[in-house]
């Protein structure tokens, strides 16, 4: 279960609860609509997601990484490939945040 879809999280970021809204493919206007209520809200969300992610990752076996999780692509996407995609996405966002911080002189 996604943390994002639980009651209250989407609203704390200025959005409606929509379990299909993962942020992928958002337009600039949709991105601008994401307005966290505070820096603490971001940190609380980070901690909640992390508290679920670590046990999930620790429980994975090598065979789990070969399990197909998305047949909508050719070739179908395995869990291992999806995890690499998620990590890459996070690294890109961290770079964007660092760049923006530099532009703001922080």
What gap in Å lies between CA 83 and CA 80, rounded to an integer? 5
Distance, first Cα to last Cα, the chain: 36
What gap in Å lies between CA 6 and CA 69, rounded to an integer? 22
Where residue 4 falls among pLDDT bands split at 50, 70, 90? confident
Q: Are 2 and 21 in contact (CB under 8 A)?
A: no
Tell me the whole-structure pTM to 2 decimals: 0.76
**Residues contacting residue 13 through CB under 8 Å, at least 6 positions apart:** 34, 35, 36, 37, 41, 45
Reduced to 3 states (helix: H, G, I; strand: E, B; else coil), residue 46 is: helix
Q: Once rounded to an integer, what is the mean pLDDT over residues 7-22? A: 85
Share of the chain above pLDDT 70, in %: 100
Best CA proximity match to 53, nearest among 45, 64, 62:
45
* pLDDT of res. 52: 94
């Amino acid at each position: 279960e996604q943390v994002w879809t639980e009651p209250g999280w989407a609203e704390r970021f200025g959005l409606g609860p929509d379990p299909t809204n993962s942020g992928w493919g958002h337009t600039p206007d949709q991105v601008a609509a994401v307005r966290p209520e505070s820096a603490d809200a971001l940190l609380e969300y980070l901690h909640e997601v992390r508290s679920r992610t670590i046990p999930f990752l620790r429980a994975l076996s090598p065979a789990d990484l070969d399990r197909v999780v998305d047949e909508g692509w050719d070739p179908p996407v395995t869990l291992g490939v999806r995890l690499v995609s998620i990590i890459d996405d996070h690294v890109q966002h961290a770079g964007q945040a660092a760049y923006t911080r530099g532009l703001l002189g922080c």
